[in-house]
Chain A
Amino acid sequence: MVKMTHVTKIYAQDKPALKDVNVAIEKGEFVFLVGPSGSGKSTFIRLLLRELLPTRGDIFVAGKDVVHLRSWKVPHLRRNIGCVFQDFKLLPNKTSYENVAFALEVIGRSRHVIETQVPEVLRLVGLGDKFNSYPDELSGGEQQRVSIARAFVNRPPLLLADEPTGNLDPGTSLGIMSLLNRINRTGTTVLVATHDREMVDSMRKRVIALETGKVVRDQQRGVYGYED
């Protein structure tokens, strides 16, 4: 599903954000990407989304050569990747239903598809009774659920989550993680960048640890492993 070979990303001279990263993630895996701030987690995610191009190396996502992808084909790549962020990125003037529907509208899905898919995915994330609530009427956890619903409504094969629980209390975070886990069990590959220690330790999933741009650890059923 994701394959990086010898990927190096250098923003300013002599300060690489990623150094010779080699990672392979199989279809259906659930992977934590951990590391302190500045270790290159966000760069990793942005490279997969092709918001950035690597300085060196090759990246394949869902069978597509991301580095050599024509720029007009980038939107099609992104339709295959669901994205969840720490700050939810919801539109404040739209209800939860409209926020999810927006994602389908702008890729040209028909009204019929929207009217069947949106309620279904909102029920899946546990917001069956909050269709008409605006983001400021929802709790942080509920907002993140809307954002997961939006990322998942198109049934992408890969879901990326960048610090999805960064703004949430531990109890709520647990709910979000189990939701991501549920999504993973439907066959979707899930990659979560986080520095939520307890979460990583309790889930016992594959852990890829980054430190100053290098992969320092990659283990199945791993733990967070830093003392910070």
Chain B
Amino acid sequence: MRINLVYYSREALDSFRKNWVMSLAAISTIAISLFLLGVSTIGASVVNDMMRSVESKVKIDVFLKDTAPPADIKVLQDAIIGWSEVRELHYVSKQEALDRLKEDLKDDPEMLKQITGNPLPASLEIWVKDPRHVSVVVTRIKKEQNLSTLVADTDKDIKSGKDVLDKLIAIRQIMNASIIVMLGLLGFASLVLIANTIRLAIFARRKEIAIMRLVGASNWFIRWPFMLEGILQGLIGAALAVTLLAVGRSVVFPQLKEVLRFLPIAFTQTAFIRLVAVLAAAGTIVGLAGSGVALRRFLKV
């Protein structure tokens, strides 16, 4: 078996050298495909992190009339805090709202001067446990009795970040779908290119193969060098993709962090190692499948 392995590898490498142009085409297609797979995996992970952080910030604001009776506010507050979906509730008084505005505008004294009196309403800030429950909670608030004494306009004065959230989710879905389609096409192209290089390799060795069959070499003995060649192409493609990704990660990530300072962007070492394993596996599978197709079609044993 030891001798065989040496033999298979020698044959595979030999054929690889002879057909290096086609091999290069196949390898670069795999490298590009796997690179894009890597980029989209990292991208999806980053976007997911960002969305989770945005989701956790989604809250419901209920703006209260200045004339709202404190007792009724208290009743509403107690009711809402009792709901299982609600994580936290905070009453923002008119004064607190003004203080927050002044804090936000402290770098802009001109604007600050414009504010006279206190035009801001008091409000209830509500955080839910799961961002998907935002609309449920909003509907239930709208159904509360005595709401008309507290809130002037149930549509305008009860606000949530739900719309933004829905848009984000939609964007993520479209992004994922288009990435999957693109990867599928690239994977197919890699497979076809590998199959073609293996076909050339089979053609180049057809005399040897004929003799091997004649003297009774086993089918797998004949197939292995070609399978190895396909796997080799897949793995080299994967290695190139990993190198590109590693370089990209060390160059692009720090800059991204700089630009999007308010969002948590991270792709951990462990996640990266897992990605490398996935890419290597994908390269091997595409290589195997490509040579398998070629062997089935062009090597009748």
Contact = CB atoms under 8 A, between A and B. Distances in A.
Given A78-B215, A103-B211, A106-B221, 19 more contacts: A49-B214, A72-B219, A75-B216, A75-B217, A75-B218, A75-B219, A77-B216, A78-B213, A78-B216, A79-B216, A83-B215, A89-B210, A91-B208, A102-B208, A106-B217, A106-B222, A108-B4, A108-B221, A110-B3
B171 to A, nearest CB: 53
Interface of A: 49, 71-72, 75-80, 83, 89, 91, 102-103, 105-108, 110-111, 150, 154
B208 A103 contact: no
A110 to B, nearest CB: 8
Contact of B3 (A77, A80, A111): A111
10 contacts: A71-B219, A72-B219, A75-B213, A75-B218, A76-B216, A91-B207, A102-B208, A106-B222, A107-B216, A108-B218
A103 B217 CA distance: 8
Nearest to B209: A106
Interface string B186-219: 0000000000000000000001101111111111
B7 interface: yes
A154 B7 CA distance: 20
Interface residues of B, number: 18
A79 B214 CA distance: 8
Contacts of B211: 89, 91, 102-103
A77 B218 CA distance: 11
Interface in B4-60: 4, 7
Contact of B217 (A49, A91, A107, A110): A107
A89 B214 contact: yes
B218 A78 contact: no
Q: Is the interface of B mostly helix, strand, loop or mixed?
A: helix
A49 B211 CA distance: 13
Contacts of A91: 207-208, 211
A189 to B, nearest CB: 17
A67 B133 CA distance: 70
B3 A107 contact: no
Interface of B: 3-4, 7, 207-208, 210-219, 221-222, 301
Contacts of B216: 75-80, 107, 154
A72 B220 CA distance: 9
A107 B219 contact: no
B7 A105 contact: yes
The residue in B208, B210, B212, B215 that gathers the most chain A C-beta atoms within 10 A of its C-beta is B215
B214 A78 contact: yes
Nearest to A99: B211
Contact of A154 (B3, B210, B215): B215
Nearest to A80: B216
A59 B207 CA distance: 28
- Among all A-B residue pairs, the 4 with the closest Cβ atoms: A79-B216, A78-B216, A106-B217, A103-B215
Contacts of A110: 3
A126 to B, nearest CB: 21
B7 to A, nearest CB: 7
A49 B210 CA distance: 13
Nearest to A150: B215
B208 A79 contact: no
A77 B219 CA distance: 13
B192 to A, nearest CB: 27
Contacts of B208: 91, 102
B208 to A, nearest CB: 6
A108 B211 CA distance: 15
Contacts of A106: 212, 215, 217, 221-222
A134 to B, nearest CB: 14
Contacts of A80: 216
Contacts of B222: 106
B211 to A, nearest CB: 6
A88 to B, nearest CB: 10
B219 A79 contact: no
Contacts of A105: 7
Contacts of B7: 105
A19 B211 CA distance: 29
Nearest to B217: A106
Nearest to A77: B216
Contacts of B217: 75, 106-107
Contacts of B301: 71
- The listed residue with most B CB atoms (<10 A of its CB), out of A72, A75, A77, A102, is A75
Contacts of B218: 72, 75, 107-108
A66 B66 CA distance: 99
A11 B108 CA distance: 94
A171 B218 CA distance: 38
A91 to B, nearest CB: 6
